[in-house]
Each structure stands twice: as C-alpha cells, then as structure tokens.
Structure 1
Amino acid sequence: MDKMMKNGPQTIEMAWKRGCDFLGTKYAIMGGAMSWVSERNLVAAISNAGGFGVIACGAMTPEMLDAEIKGTQALTKKPFGVNLITMHPDLDKLVDTCLANDIGHVVLAGGVPSKETISKIKEGGAKTICFAPILALAKKLIRTGADALVIEGMEAGGHIGPVSTSVLAQEILPHITEVPVFVAGGIGRGEAITNYLRMGASGCQLGTMFVCAHESIAHPDFKKAFIRANARDAVTTVQVDPLFPVIPVRALNNEGGKKFIETQHAVIAKYKSGELDLEAAQLEIEHFWAGALRRAVIDGDVEFGSVMAGQSVGMVKKEQSTTEIVEELVAQARAALAGSEVERNTS
C-alpha cells in the first residue's frame, strides 16, 4: 500500500481494488451478517447500492436458506454471499444449498471451519471467507484454503472476541498479504475505512450502520433504540461465575440484560443447593436468551429482548436508504484519502 501511494495519486478505487475484484462489487463494503436483520431485503439493497450483502443463515434449515437465497436473487442481480455457522448440525447440507444456487462467496463464522468444509466449498466453485481473531489462526486458515479473511474487533455487535479492532488490525494486517483481509468492528465512517485500507486491508465489513436502513425489516422500535443510543450503551453480557461461562455478546443495555444477571445468580444458587446439576444449570443459563433477538428485531421488544448492536451505534442518527448510507461512507473515505494525498504533496 505504501509503495502504491508513493508511485502516484491514490484514489479509493485503487485503495480497495483488491477487495472489489474479490467480491465482484463497486465498493469493498461488506454487510455484516446479522440474524433476523440480514435477510433478502437488506442484503439485496446493500448489493444494489454497490456493496456486498451477506445473508445471515443462523439457525435456518437448508429449505429455509434455499428460499431466502432465491428471494434475494429475485431482488438483485449483483453478487452477495451467505454466512454459515460452522457449528450448525446441517452445515454440509447448507453448503450444498449455497452451491446449488450458484452462491459465489460463503462466509464461515462461529468457530474454526474444517479443511473438509473449506475444500467442499472451493471444489463447488465458490470462495470462502473466514474469521480470524488472531494472527496464528489467520495463517492456519490460509494454509487450509481460505480465500479471504475478516478480522473483527470487540467493538462489533453480537458475539465478540476480547481484542479491539485497532489492535487486531495492527497485529494481523502487516503480516497477511496472501489473501484479501476485511476489517470489521466499530466502523461507522468512511475515514475509518480509509485508515484500514492504508494499513493493508482490502475492504471493511459493517453491520450496525445498516440496521436503520429503510430496507431493513427491523421493527420500528428496534430502529428507534439504535437512533437514541450512544456508543457506551452497547455493552457486553456479564458473566457472574467462571464455572458458568457466558459467550460475550454486545447489545444495548436494557431490562433483559439486568434480568440475565439475576437469572445467573438464581440458577447458580439452585446448583449450589443441589437442585440442579452442573450441566442442567449451564443449559438453563445458555437458554435464557433463546428467541430474545427475534423478539427484539421482529416483535419490537427492546426492553427484554436482545438488542444486539456494535459501539458504532452512537453514529446511527436517522433512518435512511441503504444507498445513502453506502454513498456517505464512500464520500467520507474518498475525501479522507484525497485530503491526505494533498497534504503529502504539499509537505
């Protein structure tokens, strides 16, 4: 990247060309896969706006995914991908569904994908995109056959790791050149995209910024919660006892979060009194949030549902079209790049 900037004027098109070529898009902006939100309407809108929409398969059955893919294809002729959870019991069938529908990119999340899964996708003619939370795993995934990587920091919404986006970018980007790398987590403006492109990224992934798009089917109350929220309101779930591990999830602080802490204490008390064995107690805690995201996104229960949001939620100020969101990001990125180029030429 530095060499390219020294050899001539830098443009946003040059900066993310590798990412655009890989995705087959006008802009190297991926939509984060958000359960219940990243369905056909928003996914198609992101792709039609020049970005790369990604269906969140989540717990869908192969039949449900097939319908969702076909529904998306009816709304856009542009490229889009599908995010599959590696722990899904029907992962192989879901991969088959993607390949049967000519999906060009499959994003594997929620765990380290097996070499067999990656090979199956590649042999079927699609590209694989994998999440890499540390440098060692990034290198391993490339050796296993991953065609691109996403590095996502703890500022993101939903299930998160322990390291910030800026630190991950510094740890990983200078050392990974074999495949395109997309940066995610807490990105809400084009200037941030530009900074990561300068560091060696091929593009960025954003989720929270698209929740309040007109095309998003999220409940009006869910969108209002986003628009009213500040960055500090997007907090991680609290683990009361290490014996009862809780996978960290970032969501807006609400009564549901408080109830979850109370539930953990109550369940742990049952375990200590002998009323529940360890496994039953752990399952009861795990199941607390079952259906909570759907209740928030679809039903609008933003008090007791799970309002998953990244810390960039503080930059979501209004409901607007997906095209407007994308074009604003691109304009900001372009201006930041142009301003830096002028400064270099005059210094």
Structure 2
Amino acid sequence: MSNTPHLDAASARGRAFLGTRHAIMAGAMTWVSERNLVSAISNAGGFGVIACGSMPPAILEAEIIATRALTDKPFGVNLITLHPMMEELIDICGRQGVTHVVLAGGLPSGAAIARIKGFGAKLMCFAPTAALAKKLVRSGVDAIVIEGSEAGGHIGPVSLTVLAQEILPVITDVPVFVAGGIGRGNAIAAYLEMGASGVQLGTRFAASTESVAHDKFKAAFVRASARDALSSVQVDPRLPVIPVRALKNAGSEAFNTRQREVAAAVDRGEMDLAAGQLAIEHYWAGALRRAVVDGDIDTGSLMAGQSVGMVTSVQPVAEIIAELTSEAEAAIARRAVPATPVTPATLSDVAA
C-alpha cells in the first residue's frame, strides 16, 4: 500500500508518463549522469537520464547497455540538438529501445522529432517561454520541461517561479516538468499544485553517494550556500554566451580571462566570431571535467544550482528521494485538511 497517497494523486500524470514510482526526474549532467547514478535514481523510484553530451554514438550505445544491466526500471537519454552526429545518436536510442528521449540545447528540427517518434519513444523538450512551449507541442513533443535560472550549468534568464506562473496555466495538453532550485519536498508539492506533472532535480543528485563525481566536488557542494552558486558574466557583447551557474572559485575568473583572450584573438583576425564563441563554450567542457573527474575544485567548473545550500551531506539516492517524497506528502496532506471556517465567534476567541 502506498505511503504517499496525496503525492501519488497529485503527480499521477507525471508518474504515468515516466512509468515510475515517483514523478522525479534527474537532470542530465555531463560527466555525472552516467550508468551508476542513472540506474540508482531509477531503482529508487525516480527517473534517471543519461547525459549524452558530446559522446560519439558508440560510447552512448555502450552507456545505455551498461545502464540497462544495472536497472530494469525506465530511464531516458538526453541529447544535445547541436551534436554533429544527431541522427546517429537517435538511431542508437531506437536500436536500444530507449523509451524516453530528452532534447536540449535549442529547438529540435522536424526531422529529429519525426525520427524519435518513429521508433515509439516519448519525446521531452525544454521550453524557455510559453510561446515556444506551444510550438513544441504542436510539433509533436510529448512533454515539456521548464527550467529556471536557479538551476546549475547552462541557464536562461528567468526564474522558475515566473516561468511556472507563465507556462503551467497555458500548457495543459501535455505533462510539464519543472526544474531549477528545487531541493525540498514542499517545493515539489507547491509546483504540483500549480499544475506541474513532476519535477527535475540535478544538484542534490550530483552530490549523492552513487554519483561518480570526485569526493572533493561533492564536499564543495556540502560547504556551499545558495549565494555561492553564481551565474557567469559575459565580457564582450560580440561574443554572446549562454550563462553558466557554478560555485565561485578561481575557475570563474579564468572564464572571464578566457573570454578576453578570445575577444583579442578576434580583434587580431585570428578567428571569426563563430569560432570565438565555440572556443569560449569549449572552456566549460574541460573545466567541468577537471572538477568532476579530477577533483580540481580550484580551477575546475563546479556547476551547481542555487539549491546547493540544501545539500548538507552526501546521501544515498534512495534516501534523497525518500526524504523529498515524505516532505511533499506531508505538505500536500496538510493542505488537504479542510480549514476551520473563520467566524465572528472564532475571531473573538482569538482576540480574547
């Protein structure tokens, strides 16, 4: 018998869509969201998502196979729309029977959508505005993820609080999952009551026991507060870059230095603007690997959301999910109890 009946009812649409015990997705984090963490989240009743990132097709296929060896529960694959081998990656997902594909990094092409839908997978896409969410739904996308600027890694300019108010009331044909800054179960309850079908978390899972991230990386999360997770600064308007939220360290300043170096190279005619933007973006891939894999917490990139202040210890994934769902159940149950009507008599009692 379920011990979270109120939460189950509130998240029924999301749970049915994901095929999971709980409507809690994991954010796809490069170098972190691999077989061990993904399988642990799915085995604990959540929905793990492999971060393909810049993986070549053969590596992605090996990761899917390895993940399936560790769990028989549903999980998804996150693909970046700008990947140069996008078609091949989609075909790998089809050949391996991936049930859910999450597309990130820009609007997907009609061909990519058709290719994914063609092998029967459910397609999820990120939408930064209500207008784009509507366009994606018309294009055949099966679910939407809205992610606020509180999130870690690459972020948009608008907070989840605002996005939820703008998008949840108008996107009702498909499930909508919300992400960014979520670290407690009462926040999950609040967004479900606003109309979300489920949630996505990254930061708390990045610091879990099963995460392969370096111990120093996790320890930095435990020490950090919300205000330590800062958004990167754009140095040159000619070289627009998507802001990245990470814990402040020497690597943050190094990124600013890198931007100035690239701008100078553009001025000297050594590279064009497109190549300059690519060079700046490549900074994050190397810096993130140094932090996650090598434990370089000084010059590496400690990508983290503002919910990092709620990471107070390194916990097993199952414990994190149990904590979140227990808190959410309690919050929804409290609100389900009918309030005592306020009458002149009760007001006089209070005054007395």
Q: TM-score, normalised by structure 2?
A: 0.92
Gaps spanning 5+ residues in structure 2: where?
Answer: 343-352
Taking a change above 3 Å as real, the CA distance of residues 340 and 346 of structure 1, as seen in their structure-2 partners, is farther
Deviation at 1:116, TM superposition (A): 1.6
Q: Do the aligned residues in 1 keep the contact of 2:241 with 2:277 (CA within 8 Å)?
A: no
Taking a change above 3 Å as real, the CA distance of residues 92 and 340 of structure 1, as seen in their structure-2 partners, is same
1:14-93 equivalences in 2 (<5 Å): 14-93=9-88
Deviation at 1:208, TM superposition (A): 0.4
| Aligned-partner residue type, residue 31 of structure 2 | W
One of 1, 4, 7 as aligned partner of 1:12: 7
Deviation at 1:267, TM superposition (A): 3.8
Gaps spanning 5+ residues in structure 1: where?
Answer: 1-9
Deviation at 1:125, TM superposition (A): 1.1
The separation in 2 between residues aligned to 1:286 and 1:25, in whole angstroms, is: 35
CA-based RMSD: 1.5
Classify the secondary structure of the residue corresponding to 1:214. coil
The separation in 2 between residues aligned to 1:331 and 1:199, in whole angstroms, is: 19
One of 175, 180, 184 as aligned partner of 1:180: 175
Percentage of matched positions with identical amino acids: 62
Q: Do the aligned residues in 2 keep the contact of 1:182 with 1:205 (CA within 8 Å)?
A: yes
Q: Do the aligned residues in 2 keep the contact of 1:115 with 1:145 (CA within 8 Å)?
A: no
What does the per-residue CA deviation read over 1:45-74, in whole Å, with 9 as the maximum and x for residues that have no partner?
Answer: 000000000000000111001100000000
The reply to whether residue 319 of structure 1 matches residue 314 of structure 2 is yes
One of 113, 116, 120 as aligned partner of 1:121: 116
Deviation at 1:122, TM superposition (A): 1.3
Deviation at 1:255, TM superposition (A): 0.1
One of 250, 270, 277 as aligned partner of 1:276: 270
| Aligned-partner residue type, residue 229 of structure 1 | A
The separation in 1 between residues aligned to 2:58 and 2:197, in whole angstroms, is: 33
Classify the secondary structure of the residue corresponding to 1:232. helix
1:1-347 equivalences in 2 (<5 Å): 11-272=6-267, 274=268, 276-279=270-273, 281-344=276-339
Q: TM-score, normalised by structure 1?
A: 0.94
Deviation at 1:121, TM superposition (A): 1.1
| Aligned-partner residue type, residue 32 of structure 1 | G
Classify the secondary structure of the residue corresponding to 1:291. helix
| Aligned-partner residue type, residue 82 of structure 1 | V
> What is the number of equivalent residue pairs in this alignment?
337
The separation in 1 between residues aligned to 2:334 and 2:324, in whole angstroms, is: 15
The separation in 1 between residues aligned to 2:317 and 2:192, in whole angstroms, is: 22
| Aligned-partner residue type, residue 214 of structure 2 | H
Q: Do the aligned residues in 2 keep the contact of 1:169 with 1:183 (CA within 8 Å)?
A: yes
Structure 1 segments (4+ residues) deviating >2 Å: 262-272, 274-290, 343-347
The separation in 2 between residues aligned to 1:131 and 1:286, in whole angstroms, is: 20
Classify the secondary structure of the residue corresponding to 1:81. strand
